[in-house]
Structure 1
Amino acid sequence: MPLPLSRHRLAIAAGFATQGFVFISLTTRLPDIKDRWDLSELGVSGVLLAIVLLAGAGSVVAERLAARAASARVLRVGLVLAAVGAALMLAAPAWPAYLAGVAVYGVGLGMVDASTNMQAVALEVRYGRTILPSFHGAWTFGGLLGAAVTLATADVDLAWTALVAILPVLVAGAAFLPRDDAPADTAGPASSAAAAAIAVPWRPILMVGLGMVVFYMVDTAAQTWGAVYLDEVVAAPSRFVALATLPYLVASLIVRLAGDRVVERYGATPVLRIGAVVACAGLVVVTAAPTWGIAVLGFTLTGAGISVVAPLSFSAAARIAGGSVERVDAVIARFNQFNYVGGLLGAVLTGVVGKDELRYGFVVPLFLVLTLLPLARWFGSGRPGGPERPTPNEQAPEVSAER
């Protein structure tokens, strides 16, 4: 007998939360990892670049596996790989073991990224209304717990913090959505991911993807470099460097939990445009901050403004793609690659541009976040699983010719 949708929703939310918990547990410990291996800003950028590229490979693996098996199985494998990799990164006794951890975690991260969103999109179609923001809110909640744990264990030896890897192993056994419970094919059966991708309208999906690139550029810059920024640029006490991430995540969580209803009421386009302006203002505050307290305020505003872009991107991409579960899974896995382009810009460019003065590194996302203003029109406001419709008082982009 099939489980109620609420059970699957809780399990998928736990997957998102676990991913956020482990990721933020790692990024808020970057100053400690940096000191442990005597890494420069460019060295940290190299590690982050490796994770981004490996995560992209993991997303491709998820796409290939999802063509043969349910995304729930892919998610379980990804969670276990992420656990093993994170444990190695935090407890490695030697540099080669640390690099092995980076490799395993990167691939696992990509698999979890793609498969959690496959699961969330499939369930959103079943619900027939916007629920992606609250799933990404679960990611933020997990990240919030990760930042809180970092604050609480600031004096604990780095190797002991590898215990955070226990959580993804436990969550791997949750009741994720099986493919049999996913929506029926509305466009004919698809035998493979390649067949599922036929006639996908990639142009409008690309425009939505550019919006997600901007999101991950800003988000990754804040979450990977925020703690280092507080530590080295505005001289925050070492116990409080995680505050670059903690209020950022609190603001993101509040906005994402409210996002389902707000987007249903006002539409995605105006919500995204207002958020872009708020995020830009937050980054102005960060780059001009004379003290660490002001910088924390800037990160908080940035989190509030940028937080709903990613979930609305996945919703829009799945809606534009349409068709069978296999087709949507293939599109979501490929669409997830925009995540890593943004991560590359946010993590690596911020470090490279700011190698002499990290404050300048945040100028890049400050200007690029404003590109969300024209891109917002492509997100539409149609219901999940149904046709797109224009946002209030605005004509939606024409995409029918490409279908």
Structure 2
Amino acid sequence: MAILSALRLTRAPGAAFVVMGLYWGVFAAHVPVFRDRLGVDDALFGTLLLGSSLGLLSTMWLAPKFDQGLGRAALPTAAALLALAWIAPSLAVAPMAFALGMVGVGMASGLLDVVMNARVSQIEARSGRSLMNANHGLFSLAYGLAALASGVTREAGLPMIAVFGGVGLLALGLMPLLSRAPAPAVAPEEGGAVRLPLWPVMLCGIVVMIAFLSEATVESWSALHIERTLGGGAAQGALGPALLGVTMTLGRFGGQGLAERLSETAVIRVAALVSATGAAIAATAPGPMVAYLGFAVTGLGISVIGPMGLALAGRMVAPHQRSQAIARVAVIAFCAFLIAPVLMGGLSEAFGLRAAFGAVAVLLLMILPPVLALRRRAAAPLAVPA
């Protein structure tokens, strides 16, 4: 099977995707616990979550030097830093301590994110195969399983720090496998400045940013919507982000096959409509069961938008510009993690979580205009800048 073959080929960096998914899945299921323990309203909690976004964006610039400096040790070191970083927010009882802890989590997540994707990219270049979707699917699978398991541990009354500690032990057990990832490639000498075609890169960045923003909002606020708006229990709340993870896993694993049959722009257009429909269902749901359907449909749609947007950016520029283009798209896209907490927190506080998820549906429809413009660009012959 192609997916299993891809995962075997990238098993070392794939283990890092598992570690990342486990931690963020546990966090998503414990969002109501964090909020109640800190004693803050939705708007302030959303602002506190900006700490992780600031940390994440700062390391997008530091990670390449970290990678080159540590070489083969960069991947296990980044995973260890992530495990250590989660200790502070999981113990914090004051809002400022939580925010500072999330800055550390964001920095460690940014380091691991850059390094693990770089390793998969290296293996792609060496093998000539497309491997990124399978690894992102592995992240979603780990995320969903962790969120589901966390719902059970919450119902059983297990302390949050114990759950994060358990994930830390799993990360420690994966260290030998992480150490087997290839060393980073040595950067060749630069042959002169190259100007990217700006607007296609920006449009791809906007598409991926909206996908990331939608994913982040459902990850962080679906449990609270089910528990507070719809009256569900802790296990029912945890099932919201868990379903997102499961359907995103299915979508990303299936995305490899779709990409071979349809164009990236066609897949993104369909995915935007599907995910917007799911967000609207979640926003108007009369009870948890209908909300589950909405979150599942949302996850299925947005799962392929990000990877397809990055692939499209690389295909619309000259071969020697692909790494640069994808890096620019990533910088734009990660701005979503700055916008999402403030957007959802403010809308929830002012109008309620139903309105907040309705806004997510509208945002997903805003993907369509830039994708139509990118479709015309993708259909035109590639113009290589001088």
- Answer yes or no: same fold by TM over 0.5: yes
What's 2:365 paired with? 370
* Mapped partners of 2:70, 2:374: distance in 1: 30
Question: Partner amino acid for 2:341?
Answer: A
The residue identity in structure 2 corresponding to 1:177 is P
TM-score w.r.t. length of structure 2: 0.87
Equivalent residue for 1:246, pick from 242, 248, 254: 242
Q: Separation in 1 of the partners of 2:327 and 2:142?
A: 22
More moved, 365-374 vs 253-262: 365-374
Distance change >3 Å, CA 116–CA 314, structure 1 → 2:
farther
Q: Percent identity?
A: 22
1:348-359 aligned at under 5 Å gives the runs: 348-356=342-350, 357-359=352-354
How far did 1:379 drift? Answer: 6.7
Structure 2 CA distance for partners of 1:270 and 1:227, relative to 1, 3 Å: same
Alpha carbons 1:220, 1:346 under 8 Å: kept: yes
* Cα deviation code 1:299-352 (max 9, x no counterpart): 11000011011222333344456666xx76665444322332122233320111
Corresponding residue of 1:61: 62
Partner in structure 1 of residue 383 of structure 2:
400
**Structure 2: stretches of 5+ with no match in the other structure:** none
RMSD after superposition: 2.8
Q: Which residue of 2 aligns with 1:207?
A: 203
Q: 1:40-70 CA deviation, whole Å, 9 max, x = no partner?
A: 1122111211111111001111134346564
The structure where helix makes up a greater share of residues is 2
Distance 1:331 1:169 in 2: 34
Conserved? CA contact 2:207–2:309, under 8 Å: yes
The answer to whether the Cα contact below 8 Å between 1:268 and 1:376 also exists between their aligned partners in 2 is no
Unaligned runs of 5+ in 1: 381-389
Change (3 A) 1:334 1:54: farther
Q: CA deviation at 1:290?
A: 1.1
- Residue-pair matches, total: 376
Change (3 A) 1:36 1:322: farther
Deviations along 1:152-207, whole A, 9 cap, x unmatched? 21121122122122333443441223235x9xx8xxx335xxx7873344432222
Q: More displaced, 87-96 or 255-264?
A: 87-96
Aligned mate of 2:341, from 344, 347, 350: 347
User: Within 1, Cα distance between the matches of 2:336 and 2:95?
Assistant: 27
Cα shift at 1:378: 6.9
Instruction: Return 16-25 or 93-102, whichever deviates more.
Output: 93-102
Does 2:130 align with 1:136? Answer: no
Q: Mapping of 1:109-148 within 5 angstroms? A: 109-148=109-148
> 1:176 and 2:181 equivalent?
yes
Aligned pair in 2 of structure 1 residues 378, 53: CA closer, same or farther (>3 Å)? farther
Instruction: Tell me: CA distance 1:303–1:202, structure 2 relative to 1, closer, same or farther (3 Å).
Output: same
Deviation by residue 1:348-396 (Cα, 9 ceiling, x = unmatched): 201111213121111222111112223335777xxxxxxxxx9xxx952
Instruction: In structure 2, give the amino acid aligned to 1:215.
Output: A
2:53 matches 1:39: no
Matched residue SS, 1:13 = helix
